[in-house]
């Protein structure tokens, strides 16, 4: 039963990439809204630190951790088994695990590094979302995936990351239709959040491209978009407050998603907040 002020009371949520950054903030947001949360990430030490932080904040007994690689089918299955043994059946997934991958012009990139990015960012998304959907399909649930740079626009010098994140958006839209009505699926773009991934941009220097290097440098200096912005969007979308919202691509800093429950018919019956192909007539051109 949902208690007042706790929109995730009684819910059990798996958060991947949960040891730091947006994943950890998403876990914190879910816990503060009453959920029980399992954090999944590859780094055992970072997971232990995250668990300690959250327990010190008063969430002891509501948080668990499990080490795993989202690109490994066995690890993903083990993570969901751990969650069920620890807390019970899964109600929601927030999938924040990702890497930037190789940086530079595509002709200069190593194929193994490029494909590893796809393995983690896209194939890992498939594995985690599939496992969550299998848990939820008969009883209902909500899945939140994370997009990023390159999903809606070209992202030169980050081709592996851009392609993986654009694919995640279309994957969201596709499985939202497949899993309806019991499982609702949305994708969040969190904005330029300063995480350890941006250290790779600064280290890459000119390989990152002058424009994005300068943008990242300036964002680091200003603090960028707080990780809490995307995390609060994820916590909202994994809650029953977002019931009826599915298959949407949410830019967390800009889209006013908390008002969306008042516009469910428009969200359902139009292509707003989705990827789409631009035709000449969309730009007032009459030649096609």
pLDDT in single tens digits along all 288 residues of the chain: 344 579 999 999 999 999 999 999 999 999 999 999 999 999 999 999 999 999 999 999 999 999 999 999 999 999 999 999 999 999 999 999 999 999 999 999 999 999 999 999 999 999 999 999 999 999 999 999 999 888 989 999 999 999 999 999 999 999 999 999 999 999 999 998 988 778 888 899 999 999 988 988 998 898 889 999 999 999 999 999 999 999 999 999 999 999 999 999 999 999 999 998 888 998 999 887
CATH number assigned to the domain comprising residue 130:
3.40.50.720
In a domain, residue 7? The reply is: no
User: What kind and span of H or E run contains 231?
Assistant: helix 227-237
Residue 265 to residue 282: CA distance in whole angstroms: 23
In a domain, residue 100? The reply is: yes
Count of domains in the chain? 1
Residue 272 to residue 281: CA distance in whole angstroms: 17
Active site residues: 161
In a domain, residue 255? The reply is: no
Q: What is the pLDDT of residue 198?
A: 83
The boundaries of the domain holding residue 151 are 12-190+230-250
The answer to whether the beta carbons of residues 64 and 82 sit under 8 Å apart is: yes
DSSP alpha helix (H) spans, 33-183: 44-54, 73-86, 111-118, 124-136, 159-179
Within a 10 A sphere around the Cβ of 119, how many other Cβ atoms? 19
- Model confidence pTM above 0.85: yes
Q: CA separation (Å) from 52 to 39, 44, 55, 243?
A: 12, 12, 5, 32
Environment class of 207 (CB within 10 Å of its CB; exposed 0-12, middle 13-18, buried 19+): middle
With tokens 């497949």, the residue in question is 178
Phi, psi of 49 (to 5 degrees): -65, -45
In a domain, residue 267? The reply is: no
In a domain, residue 35? The reply is: yes
* Strands of the 63-67 sheet, one edge to the other: 63-67, 36-41, 12-16, 92-95, 141-146, 183-189, 249-251
Bridge partners of 64? 38
Q: What is the pLDDT of residue 143?
A: 98
Counts of helices then strands in the chain (DSSP H, E): 10, 7
Q: What is the pLDDT of residue 4?
A: 55
C-alpha dihedral sign at 92, 99, 26, 14: positive
Within a 10 A sphere around the Cβ of 218, how many other Cβ atoms? 11
In a domain, residue 257? The reply is: no
In a domain, residue 197? The reply is: no
Residue 224 to residue 226: CA distance in whole angstroms: 6
Beta strands at 141-146 and 36-41: parallel, antiparallel or unpaired: unpaired
Within a 10 A sphere around the Cβ of 197, how many other Cβ atoms? 17
In a domain, residue 206? The reply is: no
Residue 20 to residue 91: CA distance in whole angstroms: 22
The answer to whether the beta carbons of residues 249 and 273 sit under 8 Å apart is: yes
Phi, psi of 181 (to 5 degrees): -95, -5
């Amino acid at each position: 039963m949902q208690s007042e002020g706790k929109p995730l009371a009684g819910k059990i949520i798996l958060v991947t990439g949960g040891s730091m950054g947006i994943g950890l903030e998403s876990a914190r947001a879910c816990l503060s809204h009453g959920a029980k949360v399992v954090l999944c990430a590859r780094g055992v030490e970072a997971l232990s630190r995250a668990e300690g932080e959250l327990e010190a904040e008063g969430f002891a007994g509501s948080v668990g951790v499990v080490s795993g690689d989202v690109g490994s089918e066995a690890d993903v299955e083990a993570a969901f088994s751990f969650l069920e043994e620890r807390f019970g059946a899964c109600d929601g997934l927030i999938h924040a695990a990702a890497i930037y991958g190789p940086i530079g012009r595509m002709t200069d990139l190593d194929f193994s590094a490029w494909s590893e990015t796809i393995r983690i960012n896209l194939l890992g998304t498939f594995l985690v979302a599939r496992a969550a959907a299998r848990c939820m399909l008969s009883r209902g649930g909500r899945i939140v995936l994370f997009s990023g740079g390159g999903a809606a626009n070209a992202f030169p010098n980050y081709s592996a990351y851009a392609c993986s994140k654009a694919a995640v958006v279309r994957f969201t839209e596709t499985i939202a239709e497949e899993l309806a009505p019991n499982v609702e699926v949305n994708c969040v773009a969190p904005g330029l959040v300063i995480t350890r991934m941006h250290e790779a941009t600064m280290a890459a220097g000119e390989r990152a491209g002058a424009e994005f290097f300068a943008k990242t440098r300036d964002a680091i200096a200003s603090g960028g978009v707080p990780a809490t912005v995307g995390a609060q969007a994820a916590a909202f979308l994994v809650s029953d407050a977002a019931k009826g919202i599915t298959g949407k691509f949410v830019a967390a800093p800009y889209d006013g998603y908390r008002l969306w429950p008042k516009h469910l018919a428009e969200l359902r019956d139009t292509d707003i907040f989705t990827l789409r192909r631009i035709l000449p007539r969309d730009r007032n051109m009459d030649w096609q």
